[in-house]
Amino acid sequence: MCGRFTLTSPAQALEELFETEVEPFPPRYNIAPTQPILIVIGAERRAMLARWGLIPAFAKDPSSLPLMFNARSETAAEKASFRAAMRYRRCLVPADGFYEWRKLGKGRSQPFFVRPADGRPLAFAGLMETFLAPDGSEIDTAAILTTGANETLRPIHERMPVVIGRADFPRWLDCREVGPAGVASLLRPAEEAFFEAVPVSAAINKVANMGPEVQAPAVEKGERAQEIAPAAQGTLPF
């Protein structure tokens, strides 16, 4: 699952990665569902904002639907809610990493910031739909595709977002010529060395916390932050 992520890279870095114009924006350390997110859509690569939480075009009352901020890549091409978007409106979701929680038992969990080991921005596989409300207004919405976690991240959570590599951007975004079968091979876990996971402060648990403090290293009782810093090198403290 991917329920929170971050995008703090400057617009220039995103323009270089996606080869399209990106309006400058403030760093976002704790992006949550229902908030606006940046997406890149179309073979011509147009950057735009969309609500994180896909609303199918056929929906009549969005309030009666579950919040679909993730879509399982294994079934997206068949499910009614995602089938049309998977065929005609695939998109990329720029990010610098995401957050996941490892269950510890008795209602406790440890949050982790999962980030690319090379420190560069990345692209999640996404789906986009435009919902036409009864009053005539339009709402652009999006979901992030997930897949099974790789061995590195499985101790934290069984799912992870699908990452689309730069070389595969053209195939993923070409919805005119390339159907779901043509991109099925891209819907796989990231390579084992791609991500590193860092235990972070419980501040990330609150959506209202939007500053860099949510990425502060976790400190267990009697420990200092630097004593768990090896997790930042890709070794999980289990």
- Residues designated catalytic: 2, 100
Listed in sequence order, the residues at least 6 apart from 63 whose beta carbon sits closer than 8 Å to its beta carbon are none
Task: Quickly count: other Cβ atoms within 10 Å of residue 71's Cβ.
Answer: 24
Is residue 209 within 8 A of residue 200, CB to CB? The reply is no
Distance CA 141, CA 133 (A): 12
Distance CA 18, CA 138 (A): 26
Q: Which of 89, 109, 86 is nearest to 99 (CA)?
A: 109
